[in-house]
Amino acid sequence: KNEVEQSPQNLTAQEGEFITINCSYSVGISALHWLQQHPGGGIVSLFMLSSGKKKHGRLIATINIQEKHSSLHITASHPRDSAVYICAVTKGSNYKLTFGKGTLLTVNP
């Protein structure tokens, strides 16, 4: 079993819909990261969380340390949000990441 599990693997939405991507982890962590990767593109850090909730524009990330669970929400989704969203955790020393396999989001106009 992977240490970081994401769901769903694939998600298709209509423009304007509210989107939720989930991440569960099975190890103790010092931080959880949400990353975005557009097709053929580089990897961009969206959020780093160790507790609570963060918001950037239409994106909201939450984490529940006791339940070892995080969610990424996108409000008023847009076709430009179409990308792979990757959950990753930092555990142990040297800040290296362990990744989930990603969620492919497609937002149709």
27: contact with another protein by CB under 8 A: no
User: For residue 79, is the peptide bond before it cis, meaning its omega torsion is within 30 degrees of 0?
Assistant: no
96: contact with another protein by CB under 8 A: yes
Stretch of residues binding another protein (CB under 8 A), selected from 12-20, 25-33, 64-72, 74-82: 25-33
Q: How distant is the alpha carbon of residue 58 from its chain centre?
A: 14
Task: Match 């959020």 to its residue by tokens.
Answer: 47
Contacts with another protein: how many residues (CB under 8 A)? 22
The span from the CA of 87 to the CA of 102, in Å, is 7
Q: Provide the binding-site residues for another protein, judged by CB under 8 A.
A: 30-31, 33, 35, 42-45, 48, 50, 86, 88, 90, 94-102
